[in-house]
Structures are given as structure tokens and as C-alpha cells.
Amino acid sequence: QVYVTESGGGLVQPGGSLRLSCAASGGISRSSVMAWFRQAPGKEREFVGAAQGGNTVYGDSVKGRFTISRDNTRNTASLQMNNLKPEDTAVYYCAVRSQRIILGAWSRHNEYDYWGQGTQVTVSS
């Protein structure tokens, strides 16, 4: 069993920054994928980014603004969000795939076994 916990959400003004943290405990390893997804009201769950070992992949809407940092020894994955926009407002979820999957599948939310409870990020002036 893997337990996933997010923290760090809140209210921020447009153009500001916020850092989310994700901690996973249980049966994960360096080959496990740790990912971030988000879901805004009335919209489908959207891939934000993911990391495995030293590799990272990002969704098109956040490239160049968001950065994932994975600590393989502590099983954590932080999401640094810069230049935030109102359209980034959503509940952000951390997800873990305990077994290795191909990079092309990292963006598919149904590939992930374990999910955190989510943390709200609101970008508004």
C-alpha cells in the first residue's frame, strides 16, 4: 500500500509563485512515476507533469512555468509553479504509479495506482 499526501496549496495573485509538495510512503522505488494532475470545476483531469528517476515530462499548458523536483531517497516530488495564471486555478493531485511504465503513458491518469487527497490552488487578484 502506498500513501500519498500533498501540501502547499493556497491563494496567490496572477504572476505569483507557489510550491506544492508530495510525499509518498510504502512500496515505491526509483522506477516509480510520481505525477501531478489538476482538475478545475467542470473540467476533465489534466496532466501537469511527472518524474521518474532523473526524467521529467510536462503538460503543454505549464511548460516553461512549472518544474517538478523528485527526491528519490525521500520519495517526494515538489511542484514549483511560477508565473501563475487564473486558468491554473484547480485542485492539484499527486499520483503514484508504483511499477514502471513507458514514458508515453505518464500523462494518462488511469495508469496511476495511488492518489493524494488534493490541494486547492487559486490564482486571483
Q: What are 69-94's pLDDT values in tens digits? A: 999 889 999 999 999 999 999 999 99
Poorest-pLDDT segment among 5-9, 16-20, 28-32:
28-32
**30 vs 48: CA distance, rounded Å:** 20
At 31 the pLDDT is 87
**Strand 10-12, strand 119-123: pairing:** parallel
DSSP tag of 62: T
Phi-psi region of 64 (alpha: psi -120 to 50; beta: other; left: phi over 0): left
**88 vs 38: CA distance, rounded Å:** 9
Among residues 9, 6, 28, the alpha carbon closest in space to that of 88 is found at: 9
